[in-house]
Each structure stands twice: as C-alpha cells, then as structure tokens.
Structure 1
C-alpha cells in the first residue's frame, strides 16, 4: 500500500513545489522524506549540494535516505531517464519509491528546452513504476518561462502548508513550443541547403566544422545528427527541407526546418523507439551525444537545432 498523498494511485505520482526560500523548501521536502522513511519506503534525494545540506540537517534519520547527485549531474535528460529507470527497477517489489530531485534550468545555468520536455515525458516514461516524484523549484532563481512550462507538466502541486492538491493548470496534452531563431543565428549561415540528401548534409556540416576547435567526437556527433535530422524531415516532415549551419569561435549550430508539424510527443528523442523505421534511435542518439538539442515550431514550420562545442 502506498503511503501519503499517493495512497491508491497507480503509476507515477508527479508533484511540483514552488519554494520562495530555504524555509519553504524544508517545509515541503522534510515531511516528504521523513514520512517515506517512517513507512519503510525507499527514499531518494537527488538535489544540488546546497539543497542536499538543507535536507540532511533537518530530516529525522539520514540513514534511511539514499543521497544522489541531482539531475544536474547529467548533461542530458536522456542520461537522467536511463539512470532513473535503472534505479527504479532496482526497487522492484517496493510499494512506493519517493524521489525528490532538482531539475536543471537556465536559472542554474542549464538549457531548458530538453529539460522542459523531460518534465512532460516522465509522466509516461516512469509510469510503470510506483514512484512519487517531487520537483521543488526555487522562485528566486527560476525564470518565468520555466515556471510556465513546469505548471503545465505536473499533475499535482505540493504546498509549504502540507497540502497535496491536483493542479488545475496541468495539461495532459503536449505541443512543441513556439520559438524563433536564436541570437547565434543572426549572422549569415556558413551552410544553407534546400532538400539535401543525408550525404550532402554530412559533407556540408563537416565543412562548417572546419576551423572550429572541436574534438573529433564532437564533429562526428553533429555530422551524424545533421544526417539523421534530414532523414527524419524527409520521411516525416513536409518539404521543402532546409538545412542551415552557423560556426562561431568555439561552437557550431545546425538547424533543419521543414513545413510539417514536428513531433507530437515529449518523449521524441528522449527515449529510443522502434515504432518508426527512421530516426527513432537516431534522434535519441543525437540527444545523447550533442551538447544541446532543441525542437520548436515557428511560422516556417518545425525546426530542430543541434549544437556542439562550447
């Protein structure tokens, strides 16, 4: 029998908490941890060091808690999903696993697009496990656009007053965010192709990397990613397919645009799939190897942006 607010719930119980400071954080997290330990449930705390200290200093019995580095230890959400699924599978037979974790965002120096999709995707990806996940967000450092996404992706809200309530602003459906070009794209692209073959895309992007101080692996990764993006656009998008690349002193950005709608699930690229003969695993590998991957819609259609370098 699951304890606490998740009693009777089947699958992943996903809560968010909005904390105005350290005291709010303790009021939300400490009872969550202590009640789990008292119920003999596995309890995992995966937070940044400052937040871990807040928890360690206030909980009744730290010996009943597994402390792990926060999701920020993972450069990419694909890695976090693989690691957490392995962790949860290791607790097979437990009536409930409690996890409190910090999710990276621009307020702590991380890109947000794919972590935003992560927060939506885990509602499906973790739903086979009896996990109660609590995601505290610090209002002092979390940007407004992040909070807007967070509100839409968490079915439940935990309050500093001890409340655990359904979230009326949660949306079970998901759509690609709307966004235009980045500041890096303001200049003229070094590559611009229309309806390239995957081989043409590979050659062009390899050329764009010339002169940029990238490792061999970084070049290989973005060349492969560009080829996969073009293949995916040709198979699932609406022509024309447009590939552009920009090169800076230490990084390369590739954007592939088609007139289609783009992915309809937040899991696209975050978990491998064999439901499609093209790009199912390739898009996942792109997310696992490149420094940053964003997927957006704008008046031109669907664009995937892939970045490598620093």
Structure 2
C-alpha cells in the first residue's frame, strides 16, 4: 500500500499462529520501510509479536489496548494524534496501526459505542495516510461481534491477503442504525429546568444538582463545561434534566436543533488554526464525559451526558 488516504482492515483470527501470520509481515514491512508503526493489543499478543520479530522488536511503538484510549472518543483521538505526531507528508510512507479492541466486560451500550467508533474511524481518519488493521480473536469475540467487524471494516486481512468485505456498511448508515436504539426513559423524578433564561443561573443549577447527586465540586464544574459546549448545538427552547444512574450523574439536554450534526462530530480533536466539520465543542464534551449519546428526530436533538462519580471513575480507570 502507498496512498494518501485511510485504509481500515479487520483481521479475524482463530489462534496465535493466525495472529502472527498477519501481524508479523504488517509490522516488519513497516519497520523495514521506515514507517511509524503502533501496536495496541493484548499483553500476550505484544509478547508474541516481539518474540517473533527478533531484532525488529524495538522498531515499533506498542501499548496494551486496555490503556490506549479507554473510551471510544479517547481512542479515536489517540489514533489521530499519533498520526499527527508521526506523519511526514510527501515521503510516500504510511503510518501503520495494529489496533485490537477490548470487548470483555463491556455492557451492551458500551459494545454498541465501540462498534460505532470502529465504523466512524472510516470518517474521522479519512484524508490521513494511516493503514490500520484491527484484529478480532474468535476465541473471545462472539459471532455477532465478528459479523459487525465485517460491517465496520471495508476489508478482512488473512495473512498478507486483503479480502474486500461484502458486508461493509457506509459509516453514516451504520451510525444511524446504532442511534435508532431508543435511550432509556428519563426518570419521572428527574429535576427539569428550561433552557430559556440566564446562562449563569443554568450553570448554578447544574452544579448544585450534580453535587446533590454525588459529584464532587470539580466534576460538577467540569459537567458545566461539557454542557456549555453542547448548548451550541441547540436552540434555547429546550430543557435540561439531571438524575443519578449507577454511581454516575446523567444530564440530558433537549431542544430544537441549531444546526445539522454529523453523527461522528466530536471524535476528531479540534484544529488549532481552523474550525472543522467534526464538532470541535462536542469533542470537549466527549473528552469530559463518560459517555455522550445523541438522538435526532423530528427537528429535536437530545444529548445525554453521563458524568461518572468519583468512585465509579476510579473503578473504570483501573
């Protein structure tokens, strides 16, 4: 491969030999060509790969996948920033990434968010010269998970052979399918406030209510930052509501859409010198919050921001 656009392949494997048959030539060729190579996978796979590469074992960057972007927006950002740091335009060389997602222990909504991110990388990293292969281990990934991998990656790599996936789905269509899943009903006990009126009063309301629901002052203040960035996508005729949920605080913002919103807005970090179509403010929101769900329909946009409490944040960090 030698082009200036993003290439995104899945690599379904059944055992260690199949993993190495794909990973060794991918990494070794990159090292030989002087291309930056990042590997983020399981500790066992990193050890296998380093042992197999011999003298080339120190020629690539690596990180355990559990610590490389714990949440989908963080992971997409880390990939983009790695490309920014390592890319040398005009050299004709690629930036190679071998990135194995971590699926164990995730809730149904977490899995859906990660699959959505996998599809979204085809949009977020478009225009880069990243060549990414995402391994999927059939010993730990369900048949349904493998099927989704072939929907979110344009091709499947077996060894050194790339096979176009007939099941590949356009990323925006895939996002629409994910976002068609209804959000849980807002609790009747949730405290609701109109978005009309003084913005400072809204901030005070959010801080006060978030602290009452278990956030410390710092996290409550960060939630107001996330809310402030999100309000740019709504008109002032909606509402804000807060309620507790499993050790976290959920903040819902709902109202008439102020602008068309790309389903992958907020997954690429802002450009310093020029705004992008990827929703710079929403990127900040996604970095602050544990999760951000967006639903759009009939002229109304709903944002659900989930802010982990101190104890929950500590547990998910480790």
Partner deviation per Cα, 1:94-145 (whole Å, 9 max, x = no partner): 612221012344x354834554443233324333432211111223433566
Instruction: Name the residue aligned to 1:232.
Output: 233
Give the match's secondary structure for 2:96: strand
Give the match's secondary structure for 2:170: coil
Instruction: Name the residue aligned to 1:3.
Output: none
Instruction: Name the residue aligned to 1:166.
Output: 164
1-structure distance, mates of 2:133, 2:232: 38
* 2:254 is equivalent to residue 257 of structure 1: yes
2-structure distance, mates of 1:86, 1:249: 32
Q: TM-score, normalised by structure 1?
A: 0.77
Give the match's secondary structure for 1:179: coil
Is the deviation greater in 140-149 or in 280-289? Answer: 140-149
Partner deviation per Cα, 1:7-47 (whole Å, 9 max, x = no partner): 4x431111111233434323322232233334443322122
Partner deviation per Cα, 1:72-113 (whole Å, 9 max, x = no partner): 4323444444443343233413612221012344x3548345
State whether residues 100 and 135 of structure 1, in contact with CA within 8 Å, keep that contact through their aligned partners in structure 2: yes
- Unaligned stretches of 5+ in structure 1? 1-5
- Unaligned stretches of 5+ in structure 2? 313-318
1-structure distance, mates of 2:145, 2:293: 15
- Equivalent position to 2:30, from 32, 36, 51: 36
State whether residues 80 and 268 of structure 2, in contact with CA within 8 Å, keep that contact through their aligned partners in structure 1: no
2-structure distance, mates of 1:234, 1:219: 23
Instruction: Name the residue aligned to 2:65.
Output: 70
Give the match's secondary structure for 2:250: strand
Instruction: Name the residue aligned to 1:190.
Output: 190
User: What is the aligned length?
Assistant: 294
Q: CA deviation at 1:147?
A: 4.7
Q: Measured at CA, do residues 216 and 275 of structure 1 come closer, stay the same or move farther in structure 2, by a change above 3 Å?
A: same
Give the match's secondary structure for 1:63: coil
Q: Measured at CA, do residues 18 and 290 of structure 1 come closer, stay the same or move farther in structure 2, by a change above 3 Å?
A: same
